[in-house]
Amino acid sequence: MLALSVALSLRYLVWRATRTLNYDSDLSLFVSVLLLGAECYGFISVLLFFLQAADQSTPDAAPMSGAPPTVDVLIPIYNEPVEILRRTLIACRAIDYPRGKLTLYVLDDGGRPEVAELAALYEAHYIRREKREHAKAGNQNNALGYSHGELLLLLDTDHMPVSSFLRETVGYFQQDPRLAFVQTPHHFYNPDCYQRNLILDNEVTHEQDLFFQLIQSGRNSANATVFAGSAAVFRRSALEDIGGFRVDCAIEDLHTGMELQSRGWNSLYLRKNLSAGLSPEDFSGYLIQRMRWTRGGVQLFFLDNPFIKKGLGLRQRLAYIASLLYFFHAWARLIYLLAPLSFLLLNINPIVASPWVLLWYFLPHYAASHFIFNRISREYRSPFWSDVYETASVFALAGASLAAVFRPEKVVFNVTPKGLKDGPRSNLPHVHVLPHIILLALLVAGIIKATYHFMGRTMSLDAYALSGIWTVFNFILVAAAIEAARQLPRRRTAPRLPRFLPVAVYGGDVPIHGRTLDLSETGARASLPGRHRLPKHVVVRIGEGRAAAIISAEVRRSRWGKDGATAVGLEFVAASRFEREQIVRLLFCRPDSWEQVRRPDTHSAAALAHIASSALRKRLRRRGMAANAFAELLHRNGTLRVHLEELHDDHAVASWEDGIEPVGELILRLPHRGRGRIDVRVEIAGLAGGGADRHAFTLKFRGPDRLRVRPVFEALESAS
């Protein structure tokens, strides 16, 4: 299939180059050649992706033997929140490794006293630089002079290792004395901006999974593993051989790994999630990270091009050329987005050919490439999602790559923001999406013109039809990109992760045993067999043995399910430092923490449906709410103040004190942005759960009354 795909693509490109260029004018030829160049770039990029990903290899396990080597853990920090560093230090202290052989170092480039205090609390050496030269790479190079371990575990501030991290990686260094580094995947416990803002957490894989779960494994057999900056173990002598981490470009990690491999050192990629970190938490942070990568990739292309670098083998050269060519994709994508408009708005045809002949050559090429991409990428990426990712970042990365072309020697390192807190309302970063909005208007104009000519059956009818279809597809991509940039409100202060752990709830003389459904540092959701009425204050025991956490909690909600079990929402109360550390270990440090990561199979039809419905889905989704929000319930005997636990477009869940029974016709009075308040007729549809002094009821909206949830939510959030 790969050979057939390549043959059909070459057939198409040869035909395009020899039969379809527009020679009517210099401008027409320029536009025509630009589009052909973008297509050739796409063919080369896809071919290099195939060559990287097709040969998957996984190294055998290498258990440690003999005396374990000494390991230094380097954790650089600049302006990240201290709480993120705290979690990482807790996780590092939980690493299963001889205590006398493991040393922690906090490398503080921000010079904050609270960071020094935290490092001392967790028995980590604190290193502060006076001159912050060469960003993170310079910070790590500085630490090499203060640390002495044979091996170095490199972790970003937000990357928390599981307890077995070193047990599963150090053995490879004992087997191979020429092994320079072992890289493990970057696994992210929070959704990326596409998953979160398009409400597709469970339908789409993380945007970086294709690289870390597929491409990196494919590069193993070529000894071309990319050092990704974190979650890697290094041999100190290998770094000393090349003079430390590279500082010549903004992707110092990739450059360092390539330099080691060119000097004859080996690398290895272990595709096992042994740590977890934070991906960029909003679209602006995502663009900051990608612009830095793009500048660094273009810099390396000009300053130390792997194609002519001494010491690299052919497969290594091809692998690194593939990495660097990727950073030019924004210009090809920009051409694809504008090409149909050159015909519809400027009457410049970039492809001079009969539409039916064009389809005869193009469709087999596109279908074969699409099919083989899906086969190789498996569940990690649909080509349609690649189109969205490139469209969302096209203008920012085109500018970043152009700046690097003219000033490749200028190194700019912007730290990716971490630990962000959103406001109560949706947020659209206009500075980043304004070009997309302008392009969207141009695409609408193109669609209108194509429709006008098609309905009027003018000349070049087929050309207008094809250009119109292409423009509609681009419109869908740009609209999805704008929605991906529109940040949804974040209401949780701590990440909540699915964790199925044994739990015991002590609310009386006899504990109630069950299991957790999810867990965070501030609370948990648990399922308890049977129907129970719990007091407001309880004590819970989560986990087993010495690793268990015992902590006081409040019952925030309790609901009886159809399965005969009680679903309980718990909020931890006044947790001590020890209790918080135990929760962090249960959340992030168990060896199996990230083994059962669900990866949906995003086939092309589903991917296209998700992309096309992105804007509509955000406006029609049924939103639940669990917050300290209150409303009024009007009934025959007066007005009852109720606590809203959930609010949807056709029902609400509310609780009030026991002993009060609303009678007669019921009206739920809610605040409303713009209208002041809104009254909705409701009826009690059933018991949703209970506690010692409160019960929660489902209030179903009657008749035609349905809510537009957004203005009610905004009013409730403003009030709270």
Structure tokens at 702: 């009657």
Phi, psi of 541 (to 5 degrees): -120, 115
Specify the pTM.
0.86
User: Which pLDDT score is estimated for 705?
Assistant: 53
Tell me the per-residue pLDDT of 182-222, one tens digit each, with 9 for 90 and over: 999 999 999 999 998 888 887 888 999 999 999 999 999 99
Q: Cα-Cα-Cα-Cα dihedral of 293, 59, 154, 158, to 10°?
A: 70
Instruction: Examine the pLDDT at 465 and tell me if it is beyond 50.
Output: yes
Question: In order of start, what are the domains of the chain with their CATH numbers?
Answer: 2-54+330-485 (no CATH), 65-166 (3.90.550.10), 497-589 (2.40.10.220), 629-719 (2.40.10.220)
Q: Which long-range contacts (CB under 8 A, 24 or more apart) does 410-415 make?
A: 411/134, 411/135, 411/247, 411/248, 411/249, 411/250, 411/299, 412/250, 412/292, 412/295, 413/134, 413/135, 413/136, 413/250, 413/292, 414/288, 414/291, 414/292, 415/78, 415/79, 415/80, 415/135
User: Which pLDDT score is estimated for 623?
Assistant: 46
Q: What is the greatest pairwise CA distance in the chain?
A: 90
pLDDT band for position 624 (cuts 50, 70, 90):
very low
What are the beta bridge partners of residue 153?
73, 233
CA distance 485 to 494: 22
Kindly give the pairing relationship between strand 102-108 and strand 71-77: parallel
Tell me the per-residue pLDDT of 647-682, one tens digit each, with 9 for 90 and over: 776 778 888 776 677 888 898 888 887 777 888 888
Tokens 């096309």, residue located: 612
How many C-beta neighbours within 10 Å does residue 595 have? Answer: 10
Tell me the per-residue pLDDT of 15-37, one tens digit each, with 9 for 90 and over: 999 999 999 999 999 999 999 99
The pLDDT of 42-61, averaged and rounded, is 90
> Rounded to the nearest 5 degrees, what angle is found at the Cα of 133, between the Cα atoms of 130 and 135?
110
Q: Please enumerate in sequence order all residues whose Cβ is within 8 A of that of 623, keeping only pairs 6 or more positions apart, or say none.
A: 647, 648, 649, 709, 713
Report which of 527, 525, 539 is spatially closest to residue 496, judged by C-alpha positions: 525
Report which of 179, 156, 158, 162 is spatially closest to residue 69, judged by C-alpha positions: 179
Compute the Cα dihedral for 314, 320, 326, 328 and give only its sign. negative
User: Which pLDDT score is estimated for 452?
Assistant: 87
449-479 in b/e form (b: 16+ CB < 10 A) is bbeebeeeeeeeeebbebbbebbbbbbbbbb
Q: Among 125-139, 141-155, 536-550, which range has the highest average pLDDT?
A: 141-155
User: Which pLDDT score is estimated for 16?
Assistant: 96
Q: Please enumerate in sequence order all residues whose Cβ is within 8 A of that of 505, keeping only pairs 6 or more positions apart, or say none.
A: 511, 512, 513, 514, 526, 528, 534, 538, 539, 540, 568, 570
Among 108, 109, 209, 304, the one annotated catalytic: 109
The pLDDT of 518-528, averaged and rounded, is 93
CA 201 to chain centre: 9
Instruction: Examine the pLDDT at 412 and tell me if it is beyond 50.
Output: yes
Q: Judge whether 277 and 158 are in contact, CB under 8 Å.
A: yes
Tell me the per-residue pLDDT of 259-316, one tens digit each, with 9 for 90 and over: 999 999 999 999 999 999 999 988 999 999 999 999 999 999 999 999 999 999 999 9
What are the beta bridge partners of residue 696?
655, 689
Start-end of H helices in 378-416: 383-392, 394-406
Report which of 413, 423, 427, 385 is spatially closest to residue 284, judged by C-alpha positions: 427
Specify the DSSP element, H or E, that contains 51.
Answer: helix 26-53
Structure tokens at 109: 């480039």
Among 108, 156, 209, 253, the one annotated catalytic: 253
Structure tokens at 523: 């609370």
pLDDT > 70 in the chain, percent: 91
**C-alpha dist (Å) from residue 38 to 329, 351, 435:** 9, 13, 21
User: Which pLDDT score is estimated for 626?
Assistant: 44
Any idea what DSSP says for residue 587?
A: I
Query: In this predicted model, which residue has the larger pLDDT, 694 or 563?
Result: 563
Catalytic annotation on 253?
A: yes
CA distance 211 to 380: 9
CA distance 65 to 47: 41
User: Which pLDDT score is estimated for 662?
Assistant: 84
**C-alpha dist (Å) from residue 664 to 169, 381, 669, 681, 708:** 68, 55, 15, 11, 26
Lowest mean pLDDT among 316-330, 628-642, 675-689: 675-689
